[in-house]
Chains A and B, each alone.
Chain A
C-alpha cells in the first residue's frame, strides 16, 4: 500500500513537472577564453557562449557580474548578428543585465553552440576579478526553457603597464 502511495506521489510529481514549462536538455554557459590575462588600460574581450542549445534560442536574459570593480569593469557589450533585438542595462557597478532575442529565427533548432554576446573588460589595475553569468531566462524555439549550468571566467590583471613592443634585433 505504501509502495503504491510512493509510486502515486512520484507519478504526480512527474506529471506536475511535465505541466510546468518544459526544460530543454543539458546545456552550458561558458566564457571563451576562460582565463584572461591583461594589463591595466587594456580592454580584452570575452565571448559568452552557450552549448547545447539544440532546441534553438528565441531569446535570453542574463546577469553578468564582475566581482571586483576596482580591478576590472564592463566595457562595451556587443551581440552577434542573429540577436537583432538586444538590450544592455547596467544594474550597478558590478552587474549588468543583457537581453537578446532572435525574432528573425536565425538560431533555429539544430544549432548546438551559439555566441550570445561579446564582453569587453576594462582592465583597471593589477589584481584578480571573476566574471560570472547568472541566467534569468533562456527560451528555446520549441516553447521550452533552458536551465543551463554556467561557468565563470577569471580575469588576471598583471602589475606592470602595457609591455612595450621591442623591435626585434637582427
Chain B
C-alpha cells in the first residue's frame, strides 16, 4: 500500500466506514511509515478537536429583529404598490384630459395625433443624438491627429479611463447595503 492510498483510508477510518481488513492494512502501513504515522496523529488530533462542536447562538431578541425587518420589507412593498397605483391613476386621468386639451376633437383622432407627435419627437431625438455622436467623433479625430496618435488608440485610453473611474466609484460605494439591519437595542 502506498501513502496516497493510506491517506484516503485514514479519512474513511475517521468517518467510521473503513472495513476491518482495510483497517488492518492501514495499521500495518502506519507501523512502517513515519510520515503517515505523523499525519494520522494530526488527523486524530483534529477530529478530537472537532468531535464535540459547540453550536453558537445569536444574541437574545434575534427573532424580534428579523420580524422587524420583515415588517419594514412589507411596508416598503405596500408603499411601492401604492405609488404604482397612484401613478397609474394619474396617467389615466392625464390621458382622459388630452381630448379636452386638444379642443374637443374625436378622442381616437386626438390620440392618433398625439402618438404621431411622440413618434416625430423620438425621431428628432435620435437624429440629434446621431449628430452629437458624429460631432464628438470629429473632435476626437482632430485631437488624435493633433497628438499624432491613431484614433482607435485614443478611444481605448478614453474608454479605459472611464471604466477605471466607474470601478473606483463602485469600490467606494460597494459596502452600502439596501436594507437596514436591525441591531440589538434598536
Tell me whether A and B are bound partners: no
**A-binding residues in B (CB < 8 A):** none
